[in-house]
Structure 1
Amino acid sequence: MKLVNIQAELKAPKNQVNSFGKYKYRSAEDIIEAVKPILFKHQTALLISDEIVQVADRVYVKATAMLIDETNEELPVKVYGWAREEEVKKGMDAAQITGSASSYARKYALNGLFAIDDTKDADSTNEHKDEVGEEKRMKLIALLENTIWDESLKSKQAIKISAYTTNEQYDKAHRIILANQNK
């Protein structure tokens, strides 16, 4: 399968440096730049899109990453990344806030699609241990698409899943999602 080969070949180093936090990170643009020659080699194209989703009084950017092959057929995987827009962020206008949320959501979608593990990234300032990891959360969110639930419930569940850090939370959600798959 092409995706497995692309995942195995992709090396996306953390070349960016956050001068404030003094840590290295990779952006969505870094991942895209690293994967382009591999996609070309495998005659595959990456498509990324954003959707603005409002849940209660919060606004999220839902990024979708998927691959198509040389026949323009979708490969059987779409991965979603979510990021919440801040209501106000010092020094940023509304377009910059949305752009920032889009960049994060796209990065998380690409991480899931290409099996990039960012659990050691300093993007997250959580002090507690993340037992689950971004890759497992993204796979769980991808399973939501084939459930019997409406889009609103899928969106709410995806937002909850994106905050899960314990295996107990993951296992419970996994059981519920599998029990509600379309037959």
Structure 2
Amino acid sequence: MLTLNSSDQKSDNNNMTDSIYDFDVLNNRKEAINLAQYKNKVVLIVNTASACGFTPQYAGLEQLYKKYQHQGLVVVAFPCNQFGQQEKGNNEEIKQFCDLNFKISFPLMDKIDVNGDSTAPLYQYLKSEAKGILGTKNIKWNFTKFLINRNGQVVKRYGPTVKPEKLTKDIEHLL
């Protein structure tokens, strides 16, 4: 298995994996989670931050999750502090913020890097499978979203300005 949160394990995921199911990640309690537990689910992976202009998207992500979770949607949030230092808190503080302000019920993972030398292997894979505008790989800001089909493959990447409710049609198509 490939690990997500180990900064000392850097990999170039060129054809090393066919799906997100090959990755282990850490949840916000530092417990290992194998993404294979989401087999046959539609997954929306988002890098998040608590002090960002896009932070209100947590509410939209929760609405999507509540509306479609029983049909097989899972939203998975990965806090990241790489953009404007907008996620300074530790995992416990981030969870408390999300609980207090948005009452999220979807999985919240360990804080990670999505760009640079310490990019989490999962994000190396996601970025190689769905490039951004003009074919760039780097994540441009918080709340970039990746939609994953029931086979664990990246279907689409959405920029931070795309609000969660705008993903409804694409999610319904995959469900």
TM range, smaller chain: under 0.3
The structure with the larger Rg is: 1
Comparing both chains, which one has the higher relative contact order based on Cα–Cα distances under 8 Å and sequence gaps of 6 or more? 2
Q: What is the TM-score normalised by the length of structure 1?
A: 0.27
Q: TM-score, normalised by structure 2?
A: 0.28
Higher helix share: 1
Higher strand proportion:
1
